Amino acid sequence: MAKTFKIGFIGAGGIGRWQMEKLTKMPGVEVTAAADVNAASLEKVKTQFGVKHLFSNWHKLLAMPELDAVSVCTPNGLHCAPTVAALKAGKHVLVEKPLAMNAREGAQMVAAAKASGKLLQIGFQWRFSPGAQCLRKQVAAGKLGKIVYVRCQALRRRGIPNWGVFGRKDLQGGGPMIDIGVHILEMAHYIIGKPQPVAARGACHTYLGNKKSTALCSWDNWDHKTYTVEDLATGYISFADQSSLVIESSFAAHIEKDVFNIQIMGTEGGATYDPLAIFTDQNGYMMNITPAFVGNWDMFEYKMRHFVECARDGKPCDAPGEDGLAVQAMLDGIYASSEKNREIKIG
């Protein structure tokens, strides 16, 4: 009988419990331990998932020799230290997005993984969506030619989180760009083949989140007094292959409706993520091609299963820490550019 793959959690809040829900349904996998400063969160995972070992100090969790892996589900500012410590303790690590507060921390995490020989997987799930997998295969097969330009949008009309610490720059590193923009950015970067970013230009604006809500919305009563992040961020990334990417991300913007989309333009064709379509020329006609079926699976469950398969079974990882570091460098460049009002070199 195969050995049970045992996972511990550093952070037992909402995202951690979401991960546990997927893992506890997998044969041969056990969520063995959890660490959190919030006693109520620990009680929830004990009751809901039967987690046996509970700690208020994550160092004690890492001292458990029976753990094979650790998932880090803390606020962004607490990603680096426990990840590095877990890797040094000989555990495989899944860390939720973004990789860290900045690329400097991210580089420490990637270096720790290389030194330990253990897996560091970044918690990107959108690249595992059926649509993203379809587009990645089309790009890899050359169906769009050379990629020239990409436009990414992760925009909410009024979606400032009224829970957690998403409005705290000191704990999160930023607002919508690092929280939801990172999803559309990582997916787009993955689809087009992960070109090397070389420069960034960005702008961040705060005009609603630091004020009390005055318009009816489904997410109201956020803590405007501690809100120190942007409402809207835009960025322009240049890549070494001379392609470029524009990204727009907002918690609050005066737009018609929420948007989560990617538009790709290449020399031989283009594509959109939503609706999923390819645009090209065939036999003298401009053609719009819509896939008949691309699969139907839960991308979050896919992410968790992929981590287990890579850490336990040695499967090649399709979301390695290095990918998280490249995305982090782009986020850093956008934020730094906004602060300094000039282009920032990357790398």
Tens digits of pLDDT across the chain (347 residues): 479 999 999 999 999 999 999 999 999 999 999 999 999 999 999 999 999 999 999 999 999 999 999 999 999 999 999 999 999 999 999 999 999 999 999 999 999 999 999 999 999 999 999 999 999 999 999 999 999 999 999 999 999 999 999 999 999 999 999 999 999 999 999 999 999 999 999 999 999 999 998 899 989 999 999 999 999 999 999 999 999 999 999 999 999 999 999 999 999 999 999 999 999 999 999 999 999 999 999 999 999 999 999 999 999 999 999 999 999 999 999 999 999 999 999 98
Write out the two tokens for 138: 């089309």
Sequence-ordered list of residues with C-beta below 8 angstroms from that of 104, at least 6 positions apart, any chain: none
The answer to whether 271 touches 278, Cβ cutoff 8 Å, is yes
Yes or no: say if 186 and 334 are a contact pair by the CB < 8 Å rule: no
Give every CB contact of residue 109 below 8 A, 6+ residues apart in sequence: 79, 80, 83, 84, 87, 95, 99, 100, 120, 321, 325
Angle at 183 between CA 244 and CA 71, to 5 degrees: 135
| CA trace torsion 134, 17, 84, 172 (10° rounding) | 80
> CB under 8 Å to 2, separation ≥6 — which residues?
28
Residue with tokens 């499967």: 315
Give how far the C-alpha of residue 96 lies from the chain's centroid of Cα atoms, to the nearest Å.
7
Domains annotated on the chain, with CATH: 5-124+300-318 (3.40.50.720), 127-297+328-345 (3.30.360.10)
Alpha carbon 337 to its chain's center: 21
Residue 297: count of CB within 10 angstroms of its CB: 13
Q: What number of H helices and E strands is found in the chain?
A: 11, 15
| CA–CA distance, 92 with 247 (Å, rounded to integer) | 32
Instruction: Write the DSSP assignment of 205-222 as a string of letters.
Output: E-SSTTS---S--SS---
245: its two tokens: 């990417």
Distance CA 34, CA 41 (A): 9
CB-based contacts of 282: which residues, under 8 Å, 6+ apart? none
CB count within 10 Å of CB 168 equals 18
